[in-house]
Homo-oligomer: A and B are copies of this chain.
């Protein structure tokens, strides 16, 4: 009975890491979709979001079943509740990748993003990928160093976010209002993705050390 219980806890952990991998891949492909106007990449991210949602539902069902059948206390209870919160963050990160892909989809077959605007998006995409990769590493290893680095990456994301808005408001805007709306939303989606990656890492480190972050 106890073996089966620890097997279930291990499976919850593995499912979280697997979900983090799906979300990382979705964000990488979403950035390709929007920067290169790659329609296949956009469609892939959009259809893959259902897979992410199903993986999250399976994970949550397993957690509920362990809570109901094993009545865990103390650390195990906190770990399982944290797993529910982390799965919510990860599912939302998948939604944000999908929103980015949907912007690429809607612009097609019209003009993709003007070349002058691509570097900011590429940079946000790079930072998002780095953060998602580190978040997954924190999930796997509970490495507080990787978690601490995520805060610096999040600052870097905020810097690009701010500089994007600065570009939009400082100079004469030659790209039309639809592009202004798209760029504002894209920038917001990357920023939110980064926030969720930080949340996930904070929850893991709080569980592991009891310190330094909200659960």
Contacts and interface: CB of A to CB of B under 8 A. Distances in A.
**Chain A interface secondary structure, helix, strand, loop or mixed?**
helix
Contacts of A71: 71, 73
B181 A177 contact: no
A64 interface: yes
B78 A81 contact: no
Contact of A181 (B68, B74, B85, B169): B169
Nearest to A178: B169
Interface string A63-89: 010011001011001100100110010
Contacts of A177: 168-169, 173, 180
Contact of A64 (B78, B169, B173): B78
Interface string A181-205: 1001100100000000000000000
A180 B178 CA distance: 10
A108 to B, nearest CB: 17
Contacts of A109: none
Interface string A130-168: 000000000000000000000000000000000001001
Interface of A: 64, 67-68, 71, 73-74, 77-78, 81, 84-85, 88, 165, 168-169, 173, 176-178, 180-181, 184-185, 188
26 contacts: A64-B77, A64-B78, A64-B81, A67-B67, A68-B73, A68-B74, A68-B77, A71-B71, A71-B73, A81-B81, A81-B84, A85-B88, A88-B88, A165-B181, A168-B177, A168-B180, A168-B181, A169-B178, A173-B177, A177-B180, A180-B180, A180-B181, A180-B184, A181-B184, A184-B184, A188-B188
